[in-house]
Amino acid sequence: MSSARPAPSSPTTIPQHVAIIMDGNGRWAKQRGLPRIEGHRRGVETVRTIIDATRELGIRYLTLYAFSVENWKRPQDEVGALMSLLEYFLKRETKTLVKNRVRLLTIGRTQDLPEVVRKQLDAAIAATAAFTEHTLVLALNYGSRTEVIDAARAYAAAVAAGKEKLNDNSWETFSRYLYTGVHIPDPDLVIRTSGETRVSNFLLLQSAYAEFVFTPVLWPDFTKAELASAVDVFSKRERRFGQTSEQLSPAKRA
């Protein structure tokens, strides 16, 4: 395990890491009199568009909330269809990820996914492991609360093994045991589509200082222009991280 997380993003109008709660596939389909799965299929096409858009905009990390721990409660036929779509996406897109030098990582309890999906994930991760320019993170069987439980368990095991000190009360140390570990920086911008204004157990700890943009656009209709608009909103916000405006900008003290 590396000893340090990626450095925080420097002041810029472009976020280093954008995380998206992809919401609204079912409503998109319902509005058109289509089965819910058609909305999910259209959502997969949007994923392709947004992966390309983040590269073009200079965003280095993109995390997509693809399947939550709560999603297992959905009807079994829908869950099965989602797993099949995930397998299809991985089979189809791995070559494109390699071509565009995009590294694939995952966060969540991926060991509980169907074996056929795990095999495709492992193959895609291995095929893209050498790339560092851009990273796609899929949150699969993910939830922040289970992440904290898993991190606390791993941290306690490290303390018991003498690898960590029990009285080391630093966030930097504990955060290395989160799913994001040392390889994925905290998100600068979190976007949720479909008009919902909740975070649904997504990156709760990592997004402590993120900017949030909630858009009424349903995920299948989310375009590069919509992403650019959210980035523009981000660029106009002042990120103080607990400091004052005057501390951040000496000119304001004059």
User: Does the annotation list 199 as a binding residue?
Assistant: yes
User: Does the annotation list 198 as a binding residue?
Assistant: yes
User: Does the annotation list 231 as a binding residue?
Assistant: no
Query: Of the listed 52, 71, 201, 221, which one is catalytic?
Result: 71
User: Does the annotation list 92 as a binding residue?
Assistant: no
Encoded amino acid at 254, one letter: A
User: Does the annotation list 42 as a binding residue?
Assistant: no
User: Does the annotation list 219 as a binding residue?
Assistant: no
User: Does the annotation list 69 as a binding residue?
Assistant: yes
User: Does the annotation list 211 as a binding residue?
Assistant: yes
User: Does the annotation list 36 as a binding residue?
Assistant: yes
Question: Is 122 among the catalytic positions?
Answer: no
CA torsion, points 45, 51, 52, 58, in degrees to nearest 10?
160
CA distance 26 to 130: 36
What would the 3-class secondary structure string for the chain be? CCCCCCCCCCCCCCCCEEEEECCCHHHHHHHCCCCHHHHHHHHHHHHHHHHHHHHHHCCCEEEEEEEEHHHHHCCHHHHHHHHHHHHHHHHHHHHHHHHCCEEEEEECCHHHCCHHHHHHHHHHHHHHCCCCCEEEEEEEEECHHHHHHHHHHHHHHHHHCCCCCCCCCCHHHHHCCCCCCCCCCCCCEEEECCCCCCCCCCCCCCCCCCEEEECCCCHHHCCHHHHHHHHHHHHCCCCCCCCCHHHHCHHHHC
Encoded amino acid at 26, one letter: G
User: Does the annotation list 72 as a binding residue?
Assistant: yes
CA distance 83 to 119: 12
User: Does the annotation list 27 as a binding residue?
Assistant: yes
Query: Of the listed 23, 141, 186, 188, which one is catalytic?
Result: 23
Question: Is 169 among the catalytic positions?
Answer: no
User: Does the annotation list 25 as a binding residue?
Assistant: yes
Q: Which residues define the annotated binding site?
A: 23-28, 36, 40, 68-70, 72, 74, 192, 198-200, 211
Q: Which residues define the annotated binding site for Mg(2+)?
A: 23, 211
Q: Which residues define the annotated binding site for substrate?
A: 24-28, 36, 40, 68-70, 72, 74, 192, 198-200
Active site residues: 23, 71
